[in-house]
Amino acid sequence: MKIFGHRGASGYAPQNTISSVRLALDQGSDGVEIDVQLTKDNEVVVCHDWIIDNVSDGKGKVSDFALVEIKKNDFGSYFLEDFKGEKIPTLSEVLEFFPKDIILNIELKIKGKSRDLVAEKVADLLLFHERIENTIVSSFNHSSLKKIKKLIPEIKIAFLYKRCISTINKDISDFGMDIYSIHINAKCANKEIIKEIHNHNKKVYVWNSNDIETTKKLYDMEADGIMTDFPIDMKNALWKY
């Protein structure tokens, strides 16, 4: 079962920062998940929240800042003083150092009109950085995935689900394009749903598992991977399990 650092190793470092991504890599993660969205000047930045109030010393919506302005905020010290001065990363900055042999899961955060634009901008960056092979693009917004798949037919895409809904089988059949993996909420994970998704020949990645007991249960259920804020702990838990 693959272990993905969720927003990097966000249990130990400020989420979605370069430090967090680097730490997830250092902790031996098989993959790293990050969230991306657009700034006012349509730069792709790595950030989960729509507003920066809880993840920086600044205030306001990501989409109201130009890149040069949002870069002035400190995205580290809210978490721990040791990370003071940490800047919001662009996707490009992550792609510059991210190893080619580790899976990068980019979650497209979509709001309103930005739907196609986010997909287009991410596609441009993946092509520019030649970062297609070990990348999975996921989203709760399945139509954005259609957009990126049209732009890069060989890209791996993943449906994200928050709720435990019964339409997964139908969604897969109706989509009309190849989906690589289905990312389900840990609350919804059970042997049956994982088997059903496997019957469609899709991987099942489960978000999030932050405790050892849940991780072991998901392993027993034959999940293909988990997202976790604590990659090293989950790696250790599965060692010799």
Q: Which residues bind ligand G3P (CB under 6 A)?
A: 6, 33, 35, 48, 107, 138, 160, 183, 207, 227
Chain residues 98-117 in contact with Ca ion, contact rule CB under 5 A: 107
The helix, strand and coil proportions of the chain, stated in percent and rounded to the nearest 5, come to 35, 20, 45
From Ca ion, ligand G3P, none, which one binds at residue 17 (CB under 5 to 8 Å depending on kind)? none
From Ca ion, ligand G3P, none, which one binds at residue 207 (CB under 5 to 8 Å depending on kind)? ligand G3P
Write down the least CB distance from residue 163 to ligand G3P, Å: 12
Write down the least CB distance from residue 82 to Ca ion, Å: 24
Instruction: Clarify whether 6 is annotated catalytic.
Output: yes
- Residue closer to Ca ion by CB (options 138, 215) is 138
From ligand G3P, Ca ion, none, which one binds at residue 152 (CB under 5 to 8 Å depending on kind)? none
Report the alpha-carbon distance of residue 86 to residue 197 in Å, rounded. Answer: 39
For 163, other C-beta atoms within 10 Å of its C-beta total: 9
From ligand G3P, Ca ion, none, which one binds at residue 183 (CB under 5 to 8 Å depending on kind)? ligand G3P
Write down the least CB distance from residue 107 to ligand G3P, Å: 5
- Residue closer to ligand G3P by CB (options 48, 156) is 48
Instruction: Clarify whether 48 is annotated catalytic.
Output: yes
- Residue closer to ligand G3P by CB (options 90, 228) is 228
In the bound complex, which residue of the shown chain has the CB atom lying closest to ligand G3P?
Answer: 207
- Residue closer to ligand G3P by CB (options 39, 209) is 209
- Of the candidates 24, 42, 59, which has an alpha carbon nearest to the alpha carbon of residue 113? 42
Residues with Cβ within 8 Å of 206's Cβ and at least 6 positions away in sequence, in order, are: 183, 184, 185, 186, 189, 218, 223, 225, 226, 227
- Residue closer to ligand G3P by CB (options 51, 68) is 51
What does the CA dihedral 209, 145, 157, 95 come to, rounded to 10 degrees? -80
- Per residue in 81-102, is it b (16+ CB within 10 Å) or e — as a string? eebeebbbbbbeebbeebeeeb
Residues with Cβ within 8 Å of 171's Cβ and at least 6 positions away in sequence, in order, are: 142, 159
Q: Does 35 bind Ca ion (CB under 5 A)?
A: yes
Write down the least CB distance from residue 109 to Ca ion, Å: 8
Report the alpha-carbon distance of residue 139 to residue 104 in Å, rounded. Answer: 14
Q: Write out the E strands in 92-180.
A: 103-108, 135-139, 156-160
Catalytic site residues? 6, 48
- Which spans of this chain sit near Ca ion (rule: CB under 5 A)? 35, 107
